[in-house]
């Protein structure tokens, strides 16, 4: 994963890195392309990052970028969905059948689909 300088990231793997805190938000100082390094006892090619908030230990070449995910601080706005639920008409679809909620479609009150609570007279 590639990051840019100044980007906010969240730590998803703090294993064997006592200077990192799981779920903590950090800021990328520098992002380096994949290079050969050791991570979790395996030598391979991984992208590495340097963080403003944490200095790695001596001899360390940054943190593996796989430890982080981009942080999105935007909140999800669900007001449009609440508005849809509040303004639902009385006529509803139930199990693929169009029913009038206020008339209970001639069913006894215990089997109705909303509407009045008065008993329905049998025909």
pLDDT at 106 (0 to 100): 53
Going by DSSP bridges, is the β-strand pair 25-39/63-64 parallel, antiparallel, or unpaired?
unpaired
63 and 87, same domain (yes or no) = no
- 37, exposed or middle or buried, with CB in 10 Å at 0-12, 13-18, 19+? middle
**DSSP label at 14?**
-
Residue 116 lies in a domain: no
In this structure, are residues 116 and 101 in contact, taking their beta carbons and an 8 Å threshold? no
Question: Are residue 65 and residue 85 in the same domain, yes or no?
Answer: no
pLDDT for 87 equals 67
Tell whether 14 and 63 lie within a shared domain: yes
pTM for the full predicted model: 0.56
Cβ burial, residue 113 (10 Å; 0-12/13-18/19+) = middle
pLDDT averaged over consecutive 10-residue blocks of the chain (123 residues)? 90 89 94 80 84 82 88 82 71 55 52 49 53
Quickly tell me which residue has 């008409």 as its tokens: 89
Closest CA to 61 of 40, 36, 44: 36
- Domains in the chain: how many in total? 2
Please report the beta strands in 14-119, taking only residues with DSSP state E, as ranges in sequence order: 25-39, 42-51, 63-64, 68-70, 91-94, 97-100
**Residue 87 and residue 52 share a domain:** no
- Residue 95 is predicted with a pLDDT of 57
Asked whether residue 60 falls in the same domain as residue 14, the answer is yes
Q: Are residues 17 and 65 in the same domain?
A: yes
Domain housing 96:
79-111
Same domain, 84 and 63: no
Is 23 domain-assigned? yes
């Amino acid at each position: 994963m590639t990051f840019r300088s100044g980007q906010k990231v969240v730590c998803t793997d703090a294993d064997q890195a006592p200077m990192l805190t799981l779920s903590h938000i950090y800021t990328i100082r520098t992002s380096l392309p994949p290079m050969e390094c050791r991570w979790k006892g395996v030598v391979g090619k991984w992208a590495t990052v340097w963080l403003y908030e944490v200095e790695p230990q001596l001899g360390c070449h940054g943190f593996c970028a796989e430890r982080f995910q981009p942080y999105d601080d935007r909140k999800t706005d669900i007001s449009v969905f609440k508005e849809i639920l509040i303004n639902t008409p009385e006529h509803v679809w139930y199990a693929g059948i169009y029913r009038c909620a206020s008339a209970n479609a001639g069913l006894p009150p215990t089997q109705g689909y909303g509407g009045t609570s008065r008993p329905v007279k049998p025909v």
